[in-house]
Chains A and B, each alone.
Chain A
């Protein structure tokens, strides 16, 4: 694996995470659009049917329901939660979900992640420093 890019942003929730990226420039409603008992995205759109469990989710923002934090927390009880959020817009519900579930969230990025990060890239995140290392095979 080769380091292809380092993106700098701001940490909205602290901690470190690493794993495979799941990427789409879309807004996700975690209540209704995400099944916490399978870890899958179920809402219409580019990620429909994909598992977010154990992945680092790179997406525009959360939307919709105030159930976001509750749903991610239920997924975490079964070990089926995403490992981190990388967002290009900041929704306070995303920050709350990541803080409650103790997973990092990074936003306010210095470059467009959707042109750099591809599905399956390996990411290393530091939510305290706000850095995202992007690795590719």
Chain B
């Protein structure tokens, strides 16, 4: 890898040990991934800027100190490019209800102060693209949150490899990323073709398609053919699923996404290495795999994975208007703070709360480990996928409307 004089000076430690450490990381990572140079980054979305939350439970006090020290260190330098934050590990909403949050609120307030000084926008969301953090086509990004990486590569045509918190932070502080993978045009060509024959009616169906696509693609780039124009909510579900069942970084949808106006463009003139068909039976198979609460018993309804859009919050409010959520059910809508504010102004939050539901921000059940060991209804394949593994939950998977109706009925409605 060839460095500029300025980059070499930082690597040699002439700008101090902290910047040297960041540069060493980008240099080693870039060299491993066969990058030839470091290029300018335009936008960063970084995880780990948060109090440790559940991470602290079961760790030694020294290890917890280490995690907190690391967060502190990460906020010592002003960022060079627009930088926003992935979800926190605790929520400050209804914090008095949970001991974990009470204990860590002070550190979270310290993080907020330091992040402001460092120039970091505390969006604390897994879906920054729904609150205006949306890079333009061709812009180079260093984003964490695999579903958001898939979204901006595929839907916006921006360019980001999948990042960890360490590489994203290094990119924010130094202003560069190693050039490899989908940052290069030739690595954005489709690898396999998925012919879509099933009807896609709801955002859930797009989630099921994405889950199937991720299983077929693994780390490769799938190209979907036969898909009609779809909503941001559908794209969000599809992106999240692709990065849950697989390690997909981007996809194309022929005639829809910005680098796939034709099949030929999607494959950059090449041939797919394989073809798979997503028909009604494939769709049902994914649904059956993720729907484990087969007896219909549920006690928790989770909306907003990835974080809910204003339209999704509105839909929930409309379905709940004048109704009561069943006593045995806890309904939570997770949405970015910016959307929560807007939803308050529009009265949606009040409607949901009057029905007995909650609207929460900053984190999610899978990250904060709230709601462990429950039977959870969700319209998100990603939440179903991880909540089973992470939280040991049983999951009921259905459309958004089905989830809300089930919350009112007190049992899963099919």
Contact = CB atoms under 8 A, between A and B. Distances in A.
Given A65-B146, A100-B164, A74 B47 contact: no
Contact of B28 (A77, A91, A99): A99
Interface in A30-61: 32-33, 37, 42-44, 61
Given A92-B33, A99-B29, A61 B63 contact: no
Contacts of A37: 58-59
A92 B58 contact: no
Contacts of B55: 74
B149 interface: yes
Contact of B25 (A44, A70, A77, A99): A99
A62 B164 CA distance: 13
B60 interface: yes
A66 B162 contact: yes
B374 to A, nearest CB: 17
Contacts of A69: 164-167
Interface string B46-79: 0110000001001110010011000000000000
A66 B25 contact: no
Interface size class of B (residues with CB under 8 A): 35 or more
B390 A100 contact: no
A43 B59 CA distance: 21
Nearest to A10: B32
B17 to A, nearest CB: 16
Contacts of B258: none
Given A92-B180, A92-B181, A99-B32, A63 B164 contact: no
A74 B163 contact: no
Contacts of A68: 164
B162 A77 contact: no
Contact of B389 (A27, A32, A91, A99): A32
A66 B59 contact: no
Contact of B167 (A65, A74, A96): A96
Q: Which 4 A-B pairs have the closest CB atoms?
A: A69-B164, A63-B247, A77-B63, A66-B144
Contact of B244 (A12, A62, A64, A97): A64
A74 B89 CA distance: 14
A13 interface: yes
Contacts of B355: none
A89 B66 contact: no
Nearest to B143: A66
Contact of A32 (B32, B59, B390): B390
A95 interface: yes
B246 interface: yes
A63 to B, nearest CB: 4
Contacts of A100: 25, 164, 166
B29 A92 contact: yes
Contact of A13 (B28, B67, B219): B28
Interface in B184-232: 218-219
A96 B55 CA distance: 21
Contact of B60 (A27, A66, A78, A96): A78
A32 B305 CA distance: 15
Contacts of B219: 27, 61, 63, 89, 91
Contacts of B167: 69, 96
Interface string A77-95: 1100000000001111101
Given A66-B162, A91-B219, A78 B32 contact: no
B259 interface: no
B246 A63 contact: yes
B63 A78 contact: yes
B351 interface: no
A51 to B, nearest CB: 16
Contacts of B29: 92, 95-96, 99
Residue among A44, A61, A65, A74 with the most chain B CB within 10 A? A65
A64 B389 CA distance: 13
B164 A67 contact: yes
B278 interface: no
B161 interface: yes
Interface string B107-150: 00000000000000000000000000000000000011110010
Contact of B164 (A12, A29, A97, A105): A97
Contacts of B28: 13-14, 99
Nearest to B52: A74
Given A37-B59, A78-B63, A93-B164, 20 more contacts: A27-B219, A29-B244, A33-B389, A42-B390, A63-B246, A64-B244, A65-B243, A66-B47, A66-B164, A66-B165, A69-B165, A74-B63, A77-B59, A77-B63, A91-B162, A91-B247, A92-B162, A93-B162, A96-B163, A99-B28
